Structure 1
């Protein structure tokens, strides 16, 4: 999900403050971000994003199946 304009502005203010207060740390942070962004999904675990509209029915179906199994298997 992309950042809102307000979140982008706040992030830019934080980055500017970091650059003014500790330029070396800002350089290191930028270098790390550049390395991570150039690594791509092959260098680390990349989980697919599952949308809620897909996940919710699956979870509901599993819950119904679990309840049905409990009513059949548990002696009452």
Structure 2
């Protein structure tokens, strides 16, 4: 199964919830990084880590498929 078919295949409910949580985490990280005020270095570093972690969780969750869908 290639990546395009995998992305279009149905995603299990647990991974849909996990994907949404990942999107929220990435949004929080992006908001911290784009803050219009100067923030301490530690806070911006954490924001960067949140953005990357949220993106990875969302991508992996989106590409997870149900077993029946991958067998077709």
TM-score by length of 1: 0.33
Q: Which has the higher Rg, Structure 1 or Structure 2?
A: 1
TM-score by length of 2: 0.35
